[in-house]
Structure 1
């Protein structure tokens, strides 16, 4: 299980290329040497139309990526892997970041297996 939800302010417009970002994040998960099974990868975006940033007086923007995954990955792996993912996110927005106020964040959460219920037959396709 690796789910990534990207929240972004709608004032970023098409220049933010959110679909391109989602593909980059999904590719990073697929390139995990099997740590994240391909059939469990979900990457999606939520465009925010109602928000206040800082003092609310400027046309500020933000992008927040939240990863939810099952527990059990080694701390060293998480630090390296998600550090690399954040570099991908920063590189994706580098041009926008250079010309406007923009906050970028990435948070990683581990699911409590006692509170996580799943049914997924996608894995069968990738075992063939």
Structure 2
């Protein structure tokens, strides 16, 4: 794992390619070396109803949530957080420079005792992705 969930204001679909952002974040997660590629899941959800700051409909937001199974060191989590956020900032750089955009990321642990998992995906992936 991690689960990377992106919530964003729907008005950004005219400004940013959200499928490309998913790929950028997946690639950044792999680059950290902290997460096995077979466990990375990235998804994005548009918020249809938002009210940001003064209510100007041109304001946009992207909120990235990274949830991962407990057990990684604090240093690894800090490094992964910084790397993934830098990738998101780089992806959004032009929009941040030209428009009103709020970008945030939060990484948090999932208690493995309270989050059972099963998966068959590794059987369908190349060996180097396990």
Please say if residues 7 and 46 of structure 2, whose CA atoms lie closer than 8 Å, have aligned partners that are also in contact. Answer: yes
Secondary structure (helix, strand or coil) at the match of 1:30 reads helix
1:21 alignment counterpart: 21
- Classify 1:113/1:55 alpha carbon distance in 2 versus 1 (closer, same or farther; 3 Å): same
Please say if residues 69 and 111 of structure 1, whose CA atoms lie closer than 8 Å, have aligned partners that are also in contact. Answer: yes
Aligned length: 127
RMSD: 1.5
Secondary structure (helix, strand or coil) at the match of 1:93 reads helix
2:35 alignment counterpart: 36
In structure 2, runs of 5+ residues without a counterpart are none
Secondary structure (helix, strand or coil) at the match of 1:13 reads helix
In structure 1, runs of 5+ residues without a counterpart are none
- Classify 1:27/1:57 alpha carbon distance in 2 versus 1 (closer, same or farther; 3 Å): closer
Please report how far the alpha carbon of residue 17 of structure 1 lies from its aligned counterpart in structure 2 after TM superposition. 1.1
Please report how far the alpha carbon of residue 3 of structure 1 lies from its aligned counterpart in structure 2 after TM superposition. 0.6
Give the TM-score taking structure 2 as reference length: 0.89
Please report how far the alpha carbon of residue 55 of structure 1 lies from its aligned counterpart in structure 2 after TM superposition. 2.3
Matched ranges for 1:69-80 at <5 A = 69-80=68-79
Please say if residues 38 and 126 of structure 1, whose CA atoms lie closer than 8 Å, have aligned partners that are also in contact. Answer: no
Matched ranges for 1:32-111 at <5 A = 32-33=32-33, 35-111=34-110
Alignment partners' CA distance in 1, 2:27 and 2:98: 27
Please say if residues 61 and 101 of structure 2, whose CA atoms lie closer than 8 Å, have aligned partners that are also in contact. Answer: yes
